[in-house]
Chains A and B, each alone.
Chain A
Amino acid sequence: DREFNLSFKYANNAIKTSKYNIFTFLPLNLFEQFQRLANAYFVFLLILQLIPAISSLSWFTTVVPLLLVLCMTLAKDGSDDINRHKNDRQVNNRRVDVLIDGKLKSEKWMNVQVGDIIKLENNQFVTPKDVCYFGETEKWEVHCEAPNNRLDKFTGTLSVQGAAYALDNERIILRGCTLRNTEWCFGLVLFGGPDTKLMQNSGKSTFKRTSIDHLMNVLVLFIFGLLALMCTALAIGNSIWEHQEGTSFTAFLPRQEGANADFSSFLSFWSYVIILNTVVPISLYVSVEILRLGNSYYIDWDRKMYHTKSDIPAQARTTTLNEELGQIKYIFSDKTGTLTQNIMVFNRCSINGKSYGESLQYLGLCEKVDFSWNPLADPKFCFHDHSLIEAVKQGSREVKAFFRLLALCHTVMPEEKREGELFYQAQSPDEGALVTAARNFGFVFRGRTPDTISVVEMGISTAYQLLAVLDFNNVRKRMSVIVRSPDGRLTLYCKGADTIIYERLHPSCSKLMEVTTDHLNEYAGEGLRTLALAYKDLDEAEFEVWKVRHHEASTTMEDREAKLDAIYEDIEKDLMLIGATAVEDKLQDGVPQTIEQLSKADIKIWVLTGDKQETAENIGYSCNMLQEEMTEVFVVAADTAEGVRQELVNARKMMSPGSPDEPPVLKSGIIGKKSEEVLDEKVEGEYGLVINGHSLAYGLQEDQQLELLRTACMCQTVICCRVTPLQKAQVVELIKKHKKAVTLAIGDGANDVSMIKAAHIGVGISGQEGMQAALSSDFSFAQFRYLQRLLLVHGRWSYLRMCSFLRYFFYKNFTFTFVHLWYAFFCGFSAQTVYDEWFITLYNLVYTALPVIGLGLFDQDVDDRWSFRYPQLYAPGQQNLYFNKMAFVRILLHSSYSSIILFFIPYAAIQDTVRDDGKDIADYQSFALLAQTCLLIAVNVQLGLDTSYWTAVNQFFLWGSLSVYFAVTFTMYSNGMFLIFTSSFPFIGTARNSLNQPNVWLTIFLTTILCVLPVVAFRFLLIQLRPTMNDKVRYKMRQDKAVLPPLPRRFPRRRISTRRSGYAFSHARGYGDLVTSGRFLRRNVKSRPTLFPLAESPVAESSPQIYRSIDGTQSSKQA
């Protein structure tokens, strides 16, 4: 049917990200390059220069830099595109088995068509498809929804020989998923390439530009304006000069035919456009690219961001955003896999009023418990309290009951690939952790059938008869099993949220309850997820009655759930408390410290997670984002738009009673688009905000956005839970739109992609399954904690370097250009250059290129350790202090001053003077040489002043450039060059004749000193009178001779909290049905472990949706 399906022209599965091929590369790339304003401008200049009447500079002054820029861009674009070709080829050429004409054929991914039936194998990455999977049939037809971006919904019908089967979300595998727990499955391709849900969800991929880029664009426009202004002024000057002096000077300097003063001033306008073009330096963009590339390499190279365990170094995937890393104001973080490892660890427990697992780690006395006596123990499990194992060995009844409960009351599936090598497939990692704990303490859950559970209890195999599973759901917040032990006793084991269990306890437990409550509080205070455990011995007769009722309820057609719940309620009462467990949702290493550092740097962190509110809150507490000391943590969970608004307004009024109804807005919009910026409002105290997905949907509506934004921004911490990937992006967009702040999104899964793409900077945690996040991110690394190094060290340095670079770059070019301006007054506004043409050509490209790049690559104000010690140093970046419009104006003024010095000092010094042998030195060529040498030395000394970190490379670049200048100058002014290229090097002999004069050197020295000393004095006084944080730290650093003051020692904070049972709240409905239905066990004839296909997609995280694929596969097999 391939031809038939092809006729519909469904989206092709081939991926193409490359831009050029061999033939189109050169023309297309050049075409693109000339579309850039800067390049087009230089072509325009070149054309101007070819008009003899205007040409104030030779053609080569423009052609040489332009060619260099074009070639460098060409090389870079070329190598980028080669990489893209490679990647495309790799993805497109992956092999997959496709069913064609009844046979499986290996096909390339790019040739797979919608409507093909393909075979997916275990652990294979579902790269380019959304696949609906089911068995093979003869004739079929699928009707389904149009491509869309909803990950949690799918509707469609499959018609096979007249019979219709519903296709819903449980029957499709999305692109980006990995097939798990089954060797293979067949599937029908529903969507290809760009139609897949993942691609639909990934949001627009826009080319990101940094705020400095935007500023630079504005500045370049401004510079063009300045250029036009200067040229106009000079043209007017020329007109006046021509009227007053030029007309009478024609005896020596005749005008061209028909040229009058006005025409001459028109020509002079264009001539000055050519001369002063250096205010818009062509090499600026190239140098900026080089810097960013270099600073990106530092990120790639950083060993402190390399994760040894997973062998993953940090990677700067986008090399054009570095300095933005130093300006982050908001961080949007995913939770699972980003803040947490998604690993649960059984950490503490309370059994019969005794607490085990006292966290000795803090005291450094952590000797692991030895589980070698238990051959079935999980070697990865570790526990630090020896008293618990002693208790088990001594055979304490309660302890045994505790672990027996853990081994029995769950819906975990065991998998025993080899004898003694057990693997558990748990619906949630919490369950897995609990069962694993029981396993290590000698109560090994080994296998199950629909009605038995086999457990190895302290080495003795025991089989329990499983009579009922009272499964977990959101309302019940508990689960129970009823089992018959080998000795015939009937027991109900129950675990669940403490509040729920406590309501159902037998009054005799009240004393134990009190003690356990204390323990629970303690555990919750440590951010652990707790569960209470209880049991009840059942009376045989009572159970029989209940069983009948249960059977009745479970077979009713209406209201089955509710009826079952009621039945469960009946039997889960008068429970006997055993104890409680505490499971740690393991944070990634260093997460609380990182968050603390980042908040010290005044970065606001928002957690956007698909998890439930309670889980998210819990993590908020355990990584110090929410704190008990906070004045209030608001929870917004209303179900109506009005309700959400009310809650937001209430929260805001509470934080700031006087806050006005209208948000304080800063309107700006001088050039181009108007922008409104919502200002931060001052708040007393610290607040937190927790908002769930439903409310967020209302909050993100057009009319409520600002309310949400204001309230959220007043809080120290914002946690959004149950949010969809698209909402994550919307939240980011909201901040981007209304706050003039730089945002960063960090996440690990496919559901974070849209947010990562929306934020100014997207960071992906790599090394997890599914590389989508990392692939669409700008920066990726293996651990959340590297974020602080990325921002506080790399980001800060990049920003600092970029700003120093830009400030200096503009300074040197303005100074260079403005000298012409002053000379105009002494050369009849004739567009005579002050410098040699070769100097003009090489100034930006050779003489000053490397030192400033050295500044942009190596400079650091304080080293990384001090950056960590004082995160406050990050603030200037957020406030845009180092390079902004004011700074630009300061540069203009500084340049004007320098250029005045650089012109008038040589002017006055050379006026009417002669060499020490009476010969000429006040000639044009000597003056040009003097002026350019003064300029070069003065700007280099200024660079030295701007450099705070002098490496050997900086020294080499600086002295090298100066030496190159003199070497090139002497070479170009040499006899040989003149004899070979007579007309190109008319400056012959100038260097020899003037640079041997003491007054020339005295002049150079005087200009340099005059340019630099006022700056030194100004900066020195500024440091004394208004020291910045930076100055203080540098001063301190010098004082202490690099001995870092120790961080104030932090003790793990304990919370006195009533919040607990996070796990019970976050836990989703389990496999209860499956376990008892036994359908999944049907094929399981041998002791082969049960494998049920579980599409463990990263997208599943946002909507805890269980892919009970087993039904799908099997029912369709039957069909």
Chain B
Amino acid sequence: MKAGPSRTNRPDNTAFTQQRLPAWQPILSAGIVIPGFTLIGLAFIGVGVALFVTSQKITDLEIDYTGVAATSPCFKCTSFAAENCMCQMEFTLTTLFEGPVFFYYGLTSYYQNFRTYGVSKDGYQLSGDTYYFNNPQDSCAPYQYDSNNNPIVPCGSIANSMFSDTFQLYQVVNGMKKQVPLDGKGIAWWTDYNIKYSNPALVNGSFANAFSGTVKPVNWSKPVYELDPTDQANNGFLNQNFLVWMRQAALPKFQKLYGRIAEGDYAQGLPAGNYTLLINYSYPVISFGGTKKVVLSNVSWMGGKNQFLGIAYLVIGSLCIVMAMVMLIIYAKYKFTDDDEDM
């Protein structure tokens, strides 16, 4: 019938308006579900094995130096009186620790992810905006101004609580200590270093002048423009240890990169032998029940050592296979027949 003027109200005949859009209508039939589970199971087991093996190949070494136990070399540093306390931990590698080796420090029970802690910084200040040097944002409180009402740079809890222990690693070769170079550069994210954080422009040719009128964070021993006086590219807000610290951890147990061992004699890794770790112990964690540790680890294509993924894949994969079998049995036994009796 032609759509003449008398049919003005006739709705359009399109697949959309008539709800006849072509469609794929999958159903959970045995033909899809059971093979699907089997395939997923096999694939997971495959991936799981790969992950597990990879993870097994990664070497890591953890050295807790909190010094809770009286026998620990660092026990002496845990008393409040101790200042500029140095302690020394020994460890032995029986085989080559394949490089590149990464040197981490780790903290536990440390709530970098606490909400009020996380917001306690001034993004503008850290991007080098000098207006905020004199007027830090309120979010930095109570580390916004010091008791004399001088603005703190960098302000806020995160910066104030920057990890302050320093480490030196020595290989004991024939009774002689040979320093293992820890490269503290190139440990922060490229974006943090190049975009997110910037130092203020020099004032009168001096970096320190840019910070005039401000004071260092309460807990710091030296101002931010002296974090690495030897290398201007690693100084101020661009100090990579500072950047690493400023990237808050997601969980109360975390580890942060301190340095890379990739140079000179140790480019291939740490050879077997005895090592000494010299720690400048200054960061208090015992008061809140935390621990401190040093982690030496190498990495693989799937990152650092983490057994979980591999095991999880293996377990889930096996479960899938089991489930597929269960479903097959149930399907064979109970599958509904499409007889018409109750339809």
> A residues engaging B (CB < 8 A)?
52, 56, 245, 248-249, 251-254, 256, 271, 298, 300-304, 306, 308, 311-313, 797, 826-828, 830-832, 858, 860, 863-864, 870, 872, 905, 907-928, 948-954, 975, 978-979, 982-983, 986, 988-989, 992-993, 997-999, 1002-1003, 1006, 1009-1010, 1013, 1016-1017, 1019-1021, 1023-1025, 1027, 1029, 1031-1036, 1038-1039
Contacts and interface: CB of A to CB of B under 8 A. Distances in A.
A924 B11 contact: no
Contacts of B28: 1016, 1019-1020, 1023
Contacts of A908: 308, 312
A15 to B, nearest CB: 25
A687 to B, nearest CB: 24
B195 interface: yes
Interface string B184-196: 0001111110011
A1013 B40 contact: yes
A983 B7 CA distance: 60
B301 interface: yes
B337 to A, nearest CB: 10
Contact of B157 (A252, A992, A1025, A1038): A252
A922 B249 contact: yes
Contacts of A1013: 37, 40, 320, 323
A251 B287 contact: yes
B29 A1035 contact: yes
B267 interface: no
Interface stretch (B83-91, B116-124, B274-282): B116-124
Interface in B97-153: 100, 102, 104, 106, 109-118, 123-124, 127, 129, 138, 141-143
B312 to A, nearest CB: 6
Nearest to A241: B111
Interface of B: 1, 6-13, 17-30, 33, 36-37, 40, 44, 47, 51, 100, 102, 104, 106, 109-118, 123-124, 127, 129, 138, 141-143, 157, 160-161, 187-192, 195-196, 244, 247-257, 260, 284, 287-289, 297, 299-306, 308-309, 312-313, 316, 320, 323, 327, 330-331, 334-336, 338, 343
Given A989-B190, A1009-B40, A1032-B338, A916 B288 contact: no
A725 B327 CA distance: 59
Contact of B11 (A303, A917, A948): A303
B309 A827 contact: no
Contacts, number: 295
- Tell me the interface secondary structure of chain A in the complex: helix
B189 A989 contact: yes
A1002 B302 contact: yes
A254 B114 CA distance: 12
Contacts of B36: 1016
A1006 B312 contact: yes
A918 B316 contact: no
A827 B111 contact: yes
Given A311-B6, A975-B195, A1021 B115 contact: no
B98 to A, nearest CB: 13
B249 A924 contact: yes
A303 B20 CA distance: 12
A551 to B, nearest CB: 57
A924 B309 contact: no
A59 B272 CA distance: 57
A1035 B26 CA distance: 10
A722 to B, nearest CB: 37
A56 B256 contact: no
Given A948-B27, A1032-B338, 10 more contacts: A303-B11, A830-B111, A909-B306, A912-B255, A924-B247, A978-B195, A986-B123, A1013-B323, A1016-B28, A1031-B27
21 contacts: A56-B115, A245-B109, A245-B289, A249-B114, A253-B114, A253-B116, A254-B143, A301-B11, A303-B18, A313-B10, A827-B113, A828-B114, A911-B251, A919-B188, A922-B255, A925-B247, A982-B124, A988-B191, A988-B196, A1024-B336, A1039-B338
Contacts of A907: 251
- Tell which of A830, A914, A1036 has the most Cβ of chain B within 10 Å: A914
A921 B303 contact: yes
B20, B100, B123, most chain A CB atoms within 10 A: B123
A505 B180 CA distance: 131
B247 A920 contact: yes
Contacts of B143: 254
Contacts of B104: 914
B256 to A, nearest CB: 7
Contacts of B330: 1021, 1024-1025
B117 A253 contact: yes
Contacts of B335: 1024
A503 to B, nearest CB: 53
B327 A1020 contact: yes
Given A301-B17, A1009-B316, A1017-B37, A988 B111 contact: no
A975 B117 CA distance: 25
Q: Which 7 pairs of residues, A with B, have the shortest CB-CB distance? A: A989-B191, A927-B250, A301-B17, A914-B304, A918-B102, A252-B161, A248-B288
A1032 B336 contact: yes
Given A919-B257, A948-B27, A832 B251 contact: no
A809 B266 CA distance: 56
A922 B306 CA distance: 12
B142 A254 contact: yes
A926 B12 contact: no
The listed residue with most A CB atoms (<10 A of its CB), out of B17, B40, B247, B287, is: B247
A908 B307 CA distance: 9
Contacts of B102: 914, 918
Contacts of A56: 115
Given A56-B115, A950-B25, A988-B196, A920 B257 contact: yes
Contacts of A1006: 309, 312-313, 316
B51 to A, nearest CB: 7
B304 A913 contact: yes
Nearest to B62: A912
Contacts of A303: 10-11, 13, 17-18
Contacts of B10: 303, 306, 308, 311, 313
A920 B105 CA distance: 12
B115 A952 contact: no
A979 B111 contact: no
Contacts of A1036: 338, 343
